[in-house]
Amino acid sequence: MRAGPVPAAPASAGPSPAGPSASGPSSRVHPSAVLSARYGQSFDIAVIVVVAGWHVAGAGSELLPFRALYRSFPAQFALWLVIALAITAGAVRLLRGWSRPAWSYALAAVALAVTIAGAAGCPAGQLLRTDWAWGTAGWVGVLVLLRRPVGELAGFLLLNGLGTFAVLAHDGLHRSDVAGFITILAETTAIQLVVAVAARQMGATAREAAEVTQSEAAARAGELIAERLRAARQARWLALQETAGPLLRELADGSADPADPEVRRACAVEAARLRRLMAESDDAPGPLVHELHACADVAGRRGVAVDIEAVGALPSVPADVRRVITDTAIAILTTAVSQVRVTLTALPEGIAVSLVADSPVPPPSAAAPGVVIEHDRDRCNLWVEARWTR
């Protein structure tokens, strides 16, 4: 039983149950980031719809009924078109993610200019009733300053109100004008500020949700890795129980004699297995070569010359196949008298691992899917080849 195959460790072996997310969460864009971006974009679109809708329906419904009252309707309509262009430019910039502040300020300045020009074109004394530009210019500010600090929007809305007020004062103020101005200022500015603040809040919420999702995923990946490490330790412990444990017990209770060559050989086999078990959990490139080196270490300590050669681009070999190959290698490495040559050759269809050694005993029979083990002897040399076809 001691020389028999050890049950494969399911955890360190096999395909990862978590798939790519466990192997490299940082190697791709995290889904939560996509979620956050999509959420943010739908809110941007909502803002654009509100602003454009206001300009067409709100400002338009004031402009057209009073067209006869303006000093020049074509001039007012031209100003309306200027705002429409500014909204288009602002919408494109927002959706494309273009955020150079200079352009935001330029568009805001255009909106301010339209506010003043539009107010100046209103019939004297009827500004508050016929002015369409003030409100819609404020919405332009909400749109173009959406990515800027709220303070900038507040400043813009203040200037926008002052511009209108200056024209109002220029025309000659009445008390009712002041009251009407304050009412409109309070209403429009409040709504515009609320929308801008809500936009920021929603963006922050989306980011927070994305971060929470991301840290949850990281925690899950961490748990998974910990679980796999634990299972690998468990498998190593079980393997130890099955073979090394009884041997240690026999040595301890005196039923196995350290002077007995068979007991020594069994000890060497267990030592090699322990080394292999350690090597299995190392994440070394070319795990098979790495594990064979670990097995060869024990032979080296016995004074056996071990030569390991690899040729070609070696394929990655599944853990259960590696177990069978290394078990065979251990059996030969622990019985070789003075020298062992281990070769790994990449084949078009898999790999050939062979050992040539002056070992007196044939290798144990072992099996794994796709593995063919053959051996042959010429005089004192044993040749064993394990060929794995993928």
Partner 1 sequence: MDQVVTAGIVEDHPVVIEGITSWISADPEHRIQVVLVAHDLMALEPVTGPVADVLILDLELNGQLVTERLPRLVAAGNRVVAFSAHSGPGLVREVLDSGAYAYVAKDEGRDYLVEAVLAAAADRPCVTRSQAKAFLGDDGPERPSLSNQERQALLLWFQGMSKASVGRRMSITENTVRQYIDRARMKYAALGRPALSKDALLARAIEDGIITPREVATYTSRASHPA
Stretch that binds partner 1, among 45-53, 283-291, 325-333, 380-388 (CB under 8 A): 380-388
Tell me the closest approach of the beta carbon of residue 358 to partner 1, in angstroms.
Answer: 11
Instruction: Please state the closest distance from residue 310 (CB atom) to partner 1, in A.
Output: 9
357-388 b/e with 16+ CB inside 10 Å = b? bbbeeebeebebebbebebeeeeeebebbbbb
Q: Say what the alpha-carbon torsion angle 282, 343, 297, 356 is, to the nearest 10 degrees.
A: 150
For partner 1, the binding residues in 301-320 under the rule CB under 8 A are 307, 309, 311-313
| Residue 385 engages partner 1 in binding (rule: CB under 8 A) | yes
Nearest distance from C-beta of residue 343 to partner 1, angstroms = 5
CB of 88 to partner 1, least distance (A): 57
**Structural tokens at position 115:** 């506010």
Please, which residue, 150 or 311, has the CB nearer to partner 1?
A: 311
Closer of 143 and 292 to partner 1 (Cβ) = 292
Residue of 352, 366, 371, 386 interacting with partner 1 (CB under 8 A)? 352
Q: For partner 1, give the closer residue by CB, 2 or 341.
A: 341
For partner 1, which stretch binds (CB under 8 A), given 93-101, 161-169, 270-278, 339-347?
339-347
**Smaller CB separation from partner 1, 190 or 305:** 305
Name which of 133 and 352 has its Cβ closer to partner 1: 352
Give yes or no for a contact between 385 and 373, defined as CB atoms under 8 angstroms apart.
yes
Rank residues 30 and 375 by Cβ distance to partner 1 and give the closer one.
Answer: 375
Please select the residue that binds partner 1; options are 329, 354, 368, 388, rule is CB under 8 A: 354
341 near partner 1, judged by CB under 8 A: yes
Least separation, in Å, of the C-beta of 339 and partner 1? 9
Tokens 């506010």 found at: 115
CB of 244 to partner 1, least distance (A): 31
For partner 1, the binding residue among 376, 380, 389, 390 (CB under 8 A) is 376
CB of 363 to partner 1, least distance (A): 15
Interface with partner 1, residue 356, by CB under 8 A: yes
Residues that bind partner 1 (CB under 8 A): 307, 309, 311-313, 341, 343, 345-346, 352, 354, 356, 376, 378, 381, 383, 385
